[in-house]
Amino acid sequence: MPGPGATFFQALGQELRCLPFIAEDLGLITDDVLLLRDQFRMPGSRILQFAYDGHADNPHLPHNFVTNTVAYTATHDHPPTREWYEQLPDSQRQNLCSYLKRGLANSVEAAPALIELAWLSRAALTIAPLQDILNLGVGARMNLPGRTDGNWRWRFTEQMVSATPFEWLRDLTERSIRCASTTSNAFGQPTRKAAHVCERIVHNRPNSGKGPSCVPS
């Protein structure tokens, strides 16, 4: 059954004054959905675990990102990146290493590599599951689509959230100019604070019939 389309988002825009949504434009997506996403300037989703099929035009490869994108290493529906890498076919492992321009010694290096790819990309926003930040593997998956039991049971413990992985993430966030306290880039050149990084996603009030769009910073 067709949805309400543009009418729905126009009504929301008039009430909310912005559209704080991320489009989950994954899987089989038709052209009219893409047109609706772009009409209202909602950022699309890109998943780095989907990127290494060997096709240079794969939209999940960072060099194919547009700025108005939210880049994920993985989502709640995917295995942690460490587990994903362990299950990855050899050909896709080779594609990943070719893209990184370096080898990975083992699965322990996979999640940091994908987080770095996401953070250094042009995507306006980046997200990594806590399991990837903590570099967890088998046993830490949150959800397996289609499974009727055993989902959404993973929990982190106080011992897991030590300073070490977050110190690394902070350093990467500063280096990639995504930190609110960052005032210069890796070359010492002044730049806007990353608190304004969401300006890279188009923000506008309702006008010209195109509909408003914003992502909360």
- What residue numbers bound the domain in which 69 lies? 44-145+154-188
Residue 37 forms part of a structural domain: no
Q: What was the pLDDT predicted at 3?
A: 81
Q: What was the pLDDT predicted at 66?
A: 96
Mean pLDDT, rounded, for 122-136? 97
Residue 207 forms part of a structural domain: no
- Among the residue ranges 2-6, 141-145, 170-174, the one predicted with the least confidence is 2-6
pLDDT, one tens digit per residue, over 9-61 is 999 999 998 899 999 999 888 999 999 999 999 999 999 999 999 999 999 99
Residue 196 forms part of a structural domain: no
Q: What was the pLDDT predicted at 191?
A: 43
pLDDT, one tens digit per residue, over 152-189 is 999 999 889 887 889 999 999 999 999 875 444 443 44
Residue 140 forms part of a structural domain: yes
Residue 16 forms part of a structural domain: no
H or E segment at 126? strand 125-127
Q: What was the pLDDT predicted at 181?
A: 57
Task: For the chain, count helices (H), then strands (E).
Answer: 7, 3
pLDDT, one tens digit per residue, over 116-125 is 999 999 999 9
Pull the structure tokens for residue 54. Answer: 């060997």
Q: What was the pLDDT predicted at 188?
A: 43
Residue 83 forms part of a structural domain: yes
Q: What was the pLDDT predicted at 211?
A: 40
**Residue percentage of the chain with pLDDT more than 90:** 73
Q: What was the pLDDT predicted at 110?
A: 98
Neighbours of 168 (CB within 10 A): 15
Mean pLDDT of the chain: 85
Q: What string of DSSP letters covers 145-192?
A: TT-SSS-S-----TTTS-HHHHHHHHHHHHHTT-STT--B-TTS-B--
- The total of structural domains in the chain comes to 1
Residue 62 forms part of a structural domain: yes
pLDDT band at 209 (very low <50, low <70, confident <90, very high): very low
C-alpha distances (whole Å) from 170 to each of 109, 178, 181 are 18, 9, 11
Residue 70 forms part of a structural domain: yes
Q: What was the pLDDT predicted at 107?
A: 98
What is the pTM (predicted TM-score) of this model? 0.82
User: Pick the residue with more confidence: 205 or 29?
Assistant: 29
